[in-house]
A = this chain, B = another copy of it.
Amino acid sequence: MAETADRILQAADELFSLRGYAAVSARDIAERAGVNKALIFYYFESKEALFRRVLDQYYEGHVKALELPTEGSYRERLHTLIDHYLDFIEDNYRYLQLVQREIIEGSSRLPYIQQNVMTLYSRVRDLLGDLVPASGALDARQFFVSFSGLINTFYVNAPVLGELWAGQQMDAAQRLARREHLHWIVNTLLDRLESGK
């Protein structure tokens, strides 16, 4: 049944995201999936191939999330883009951690990730237009890095930040507050940029 392969994929997804590639064994995955270990190698070529399949699944959704909104002012479009990205992350919470790990570990998939980053960057750059200088401390690249950091940190570091909110699980209210905060920051920065420094 394809059902078995799916259960393996899902278990692998959960475990890899949680503990990383090296710290997860084929036995762990089989146990979590409630499946005989040999079936992993029956449906997937190897542990490495299984890991790639997990990543591929996410990449598809990511590309979709990066679609650029076409309506409204540049400011509205920027807010919309951020919201879409946040939606994607909240629905695919583990993806960020997977990608972050790939980056830190200097994986062979890095060029693929870079391409994704460049796509997103070019959209932010187009949106900012000539509001920012072409180079220096206030160029589009700096703001892109800043926006990425502002958004990603909250989710990547969630396991450690929970303490700040008195150990509560990260719930809908917290995510909403974070969203508000981000939009407030973006508006503040754009206001200052528009005022011409």
Contact = CB atoms under 8 A, between A and B. Distances in A.
B177 A161 contact: no
A19 interface: yes
Q: How many copies does the complex hold?
A: 2
Interface in A124-173: 136-138, 141-142, 144-146, 148-154, 156-157, 159-161, 163-165
Given A100-B104, A188-B189, A110 B145 contact: no
A117 B20 CA distance: 23
Interface size of A as a range: 35 or more
Interface in A5-41: 18-23
A179 to B, nearest CB: 8
A109 to B, nearest CB: 11
A49 interface: no
A63 interface: no
Given A104-B156, A136-B180, A191-B192, 11 more contacts: A18-B105, A19-B106, A22-B22, A114-B160, A117-B164, A138-B181, A141-B164, A145-B164, A149-B150, A149-B152, A150-B150
